[in-house]
Structure 1
Amino acid sequence: MVAFIGREHQLAGLDALLSEVRAAIGGDDPRPGKCLLIRGRRRIGKSSLVEAFVDRAAVPAMFFTAAGASTEVELESLIEAVNSSTLPDRTVFDDATPGNWSAALRQLAGILPDDRPSVVVVDEVPYLVDRVDAFEGILQRAWDRELSRKPVLFILIGSDLSMMEALSSYGRPFHQRGKEMVLGPLNPAEVGEMLQLAPAEAFDAALVTGGLPLICADWPRGADLWQFLSAELANPVAPLLVSAERSLASEFPDSAMARAVLSAIGSGERTFTNVARAAGGISHTTLTRAVDVLVNKRMVAADLPISTSASRERRYRVTDPYLRFWLTFVAPYLAEIERLRGDLTLRRIEAGWTSWRGRAIEPLLRESLARLLPDDALPAAPAIGAYWTRSNSIEIDVVGADREPIARQLLFLGSIKWLENSAFDGHDLLALQRHRATITDDPIPLLAISRSGVETVGLDASYGPAELIQAWRRLG
């Protein structure tokens, strides 16, 4: 069960929904069934979480996983899943094979028990939406007419975030028919607990693993970053090496251009022009289309600087720190690793680690700060981002404001210095004060986020790894 550290509240939520179904048996509600839609990016542990819940629920259950095949093949797989399930009367499907999805779901509802709860799981729903004609309407009718009338917990799982969000959105057939659960990666505190690491090292581990349970499970408890990387890079089939490729193959089976643009952004290019150049000199239209796909899939963020005036200086970044690490340090050298020369890759990571981490850690630390505030020194900020100019002559790592990207009021400004052996000092404070003077005349509070402490006076607040990791423990 090591992969489920930090998943207790999700398991508790599933238990609570099943209890609601159980309590409704024999009551006045003609629709005792409950539906839950679970979304989260690939390899985050959605299926494993639900499998663990089903195992411990000890009720009749069926678990079906779509594979992106044809309608007919998927229907055959559903019938096989029913036959191998623990549902009573499952052999009915052998006697009367349904010829379409409407009939299959109607027949499935017919074999669900009336006197005890059951669980039905449909994994990778977006494949069905994409391949089965009018599947959303079929699903809505099956739920309204048959499934919801049985004491069943009906769980729909999907990795395509935008499609799963759309499934229950206003104007779509399945609107308001199910509750939603968003499953994210293990947060830095959970990673630290799982791997038995101190706060600063937990943040490093969160950057490299992305909080993916499968990769974290391969990290020896108490081992430092370099011990972990040395072992992973010596094994060409280690989860750290193969998880990203498998996810990308599923996300972009037919979109080489989106892959190329993602690789360009992952390698460190941040502006539209530089991304286009790094992706092979592609056209403005082609790049815009590819970026839209990546942003829609939540794989890339398109950030604007937060300030009191408008800016068009958009910067792109890969949202998943593990994928960003993989695209920078692993993907270009997979052939080298497969030749069992991961030692060369490791030396390259050691040489570039401090520089890469310095920028990669910033979004995670800003999110940590958002979870921590308000405190005695600073208010909560509805928006926490950064500020930069086209030439990058002015860069402010932390900007707290009342809204983004165009703020009415700036609430605080800050600097991030995430180095092992260098504290935030007077020179850093002076640079922050100078940058503040370029965007406002107001004495806005100043803060520092430092891995190695603060060696100066004049700040309104400062935060280190211990305070920031605690924010994740407090809010989960």
Structure 2
Amino acid sequence: MATFVGRRRELEALDRELSKVTAEVGGERPGRCLMLRGRRRVGKSRLVERFAERSGAPFLFYAATGASPEADLERLSRDAQTSTLPFANLLSAARPASWDAAFDVLAAALPQDRASVVVLDKVPYLMDEDGAFEGMLQRAWDRALETKPVLLVLIGSDLSMMEALNSYGRPFHQRGREMVLGPLNPAEVGEMLGLEPAAAFDAALITGGLPLICAEWPHGAGMWDFLRASLSDPVSALLVSAERSLAAEFPQQVQARAVLSAIGSGERNFTNIARAAGGIGATPLHRALELLTDKRVIAAELPVSTRPSKDRRYRVKDSYLRFWLKLLGPAMEEIERGRGDLTLRRIRENWTNWRGRAVEPLVREALARLLPDANLPAAPVIGGYWTRTNDVEIDIVGADRGPIAKELLFVGSVKWLENSPFDRHDLAALHRHRAALTSDPVPVVAASRSGTDCKGLDAAYGPAELLAAWSA
């Protein structure tokens, strides 16, 4: 049950979809389809399995293998043997040779007088370049499946492929409702692990909110105790989850892995990424960056300003993967030979600098959720600002649109240190950087782990205020 802390709304959404099917039993087309996507290891399969088990409806849970069409169809027959559908034995006995035939048998196995649930997991494994599977799914849905009181749940981790499944011009367009499952947010992580707000942010950065990793964090334990225990176990979820996800996501793309490692190590612009990735050429680097961006693994960002800029920067979107690429992946050999203590020492040495930059996207997301409040207006876009030489860098820029804004709404700084509050020196630096960005006296804001020690701020937020953005 621990892995389902914070999943109440998602379970309720699934319950609502099934209730709509139940309400239409006996109707002409009672069937409904839900397309659930989310990054690997965020708990999609477990969420839907828990929903199906507690729903009381007969269900079939099928997970594709990706090995071959024959293996996938054989797996369907095996999964049918553990299904609670009243006529699931039809699937296990028929052993269909094509998905067209499999969907026909599946439709025959579905009850007509009560709602049922069918889950197809790892759907991108079944999709092909010519759209054959999508065409067969569309025909089966229109001809037979939608006429049965069934909730069909399609699950996939390849975000771009799952989005394409429902996009215009594809066979299955507009036949299903889309649902996105993200990782546990910082408030959910804090609730699950029994942590105070500041510690909850640390845990969210390290685990990325992945339930499997959070499940290994003892309730109420400190971050360093958790890291020490995880680094002493070479097969801990903290150590193996990233490598397994990368192996599944990029099995053949060696250059993409090298580019991702370069970004994860801290390189942010095109030239430095190329150098860190082994001197990769401009064309293959563009291709790798495009692939990583399409798969939602990295974010490509421009500074938010009233002036256009081409100074694009890249970052790894998932904070756990960023942590792993920077501090865990390069140390796997020493960890495997029992020297996790050396890795832990290195994490301690780099922690403050790494966390200071890693927490910035979370702070910006929290403000986007919190505002407007008594001090600041709502901002359609909250990003950052920087110059090519980094002589000016502003952590928080709120604007009416981005990256080229008509109006700047506020600017701010993030100072995330244990024992050092945001002080007058930090405020003076923020005022200097604001002057380089705009001549307008836009409000200034601070986000500080240790509070503020100066006057002149228009707004200030600490860990508790920011965490409340997800608790509301």
| TM-score using structure 1 length | 0.98
Distance in 2 separating the partners of 1:368 and 1:454: 18
Amino-acid identity (%): 65
Structure 2 Cα separation of the partners of residues 91 and 238 of structure 1: 39
Q: 1:329 aligns with which of 323, 327, 334?
A: 327
Residues 334-361 of structure 1, C-alpha deviations (whole Å, 9 max, x = no match): 0100011101100000000001101111
Q: Report the counterpart of residue 25 of structure 2 in structure 1.
A: 25
What SS does the corresponding residue of 2:127 show, helix, strand or coil? Answer: helix
Which residue does 1:13 correspond to in 2? 13
Kept in 1: contact 2:78–2:92 (CA 8 A): no
| Aligned-partner Cα distance in 2 for 1:424–1:279 | 36
Is 1:2 aligned to 2:2, yes or no?
yes
Provide the residue aligned with 2:374 in structure 1: 376
Q: In 2, Cα distance between the equivalents of 1:171 and 1:339?
A: 53
Report the equivalent of 1:40.
38
RMSD (Å), alpha carbons: 1.0
Q: Which residue of 2 aligns with 1:153?
A: 151
CA contact (8 A) 2:424 2:453 kept: yes
Match of 1:93 among 81, 85, 91: 91
Residue 177 of structure 2 corresponds to: 179
Following TM superposition, by how much is the alpha carbon of 1:97 offset from its aligned partner in structure 2, in angstroms?
A: 3.2
Partners of 2:384 and 2:130 in 1: CA distance? 44
- Name the counterpart of 1:77: 75
Cα deviation code 1:360-412 (max 9, x no counterpart): 11011111111110001100000000000000000011000001100000000
CA contact (8 A) 1:38 1:158 kept: yes
Return the letter of the residue paired with 2:9: H
Secondary structure at the residue paired with 2:128? Answer: helix
| Distance in 1 of aligned mates of 2:240 and 2:252 | 19
Given that 2:80 and 2:92 are in contact with CA atoms closer than 8 Å, whether structure 1 keeps it comes out as: no
CA shift for structure 1 position 414: 0.4
What residue number does 1:306 align with?
304
Partners in 1 of 2:217 and 2:94 — Cα distance? Answer: 49
> What is the alpha-carbon distance in structure 2 between the residues aligned to residue 258 and residue 95 of structure 1?
43
Contact 1:71 1:131 in 2 (8 A): no
C-alpha separation in 1, matches of 2:468 and 2:89: 52
How far is the alpha carbon of 1:132 from its aligned partner?
A: 8.5
Partners in 1 of 2:189 and 2:92 — Cα distance? 46
Q: Secondary structure at the match of 1:447?
A: strand
Aligned to 1:424: 422
Q: Give runs of ≥4 in structure 1 deviating > 4 Å.
A: none
Task: Work out the CA distance in 2 between the residues paired with 1:32 and 1:59.
Answer: 15
Who is 2:124 aligned against? 126
Superposed CA deviations along residues 405-433 of structure 1, whole A, max 9, x for unmatched, are 00000000001110000011111111111
Aligned positions of 1:61-76 closer than 5 A = 61-76=59-74
- Give the structure 1 partner of residue 285 of structure 2: 287
**TM-score normalised according to structure 2 size:** 0.99
Aligned pair partner of 2:50 in 45, 48, 52:
52
Residue 126 of structure 2 aligns to a residue whose secondary structure is helix
Give yes or no for contact 1:21–1:152 (8 Å, CA) kept in 2. Answer: yes
Q: 2:36 is paired with a residue of what secondary structure?
A: strand
For 2:53 and 2:451, how far apart are their aligned partners in 1? 47
Q: CA deviation at 1:25?
A: 1.1
Determine the C-alpha separation between the residues in 2 that align with 1:344 and 1:303: 34
Contact 1:306–1:405 (Cα < 8 Å) also in 2: yes
